[in-house]
Homo-oligomer: A and B are copies of this chain.
Amino acid sequence: MPRIVGQIDQAKSQAILDAAAEVLGTGGLSAPMDEIARRAGVSKQTIYNHYGSKAELIRAIVDRRVEEIAAPLLAPGAQDHPQEALAGFGRVMLELVLRPLGRSMLKMTVQAADDMPDLARAFYEAGPRTSRRRLADFLRQETLAGRLAVDDPDQAADFFAGMVIGVRQIAGLLGVEQAAEPEVIERVAQEAARRFMRAYGID
Contacts and interface: CB of A to CB of B under 8 A. Distances in A.
Contacts of A109: 174
A155 interface: yes
Residue among A27, A159, A196 with max Cβ neighbours from chain B (10 Å)? A159
Interface stretch (A39-47, A49-57, A71-79, A163-171): A163-171
Contacts of A166: 158-159, 161-162
A188 interface: yes
B117 A175 contact: yes
A176 interface: yes
A24 to B, nearest CB: 11
Interface in A68-111: 106-107, 109-111
A8 interface: no
A96 B113 CA distance: 21
Given A163-B162, A166-B159, A174 B114 contact: no
B188 A195 contact: no
Copies in the complex: 2
A176 to B, nearest CB: 5
Interface of chain A, main secondary structure: helix
Contact of A114 (B28, B124, B152): B28
Interface in A100-139: 106-107, 109-111, 113-114, 117, 120-121, 123-124, 128-129, 132
A163 B159 CA distance: 4
Interface in A169-194: 169-171, 173-176, 188, 191-192
The 9 closest A-B pairs by CB, nearest first: A162-B162, A162-B166, A199-B199, A195-B199, A158-B166, A120-B174, A159-B163, A28-B114, A198-B199
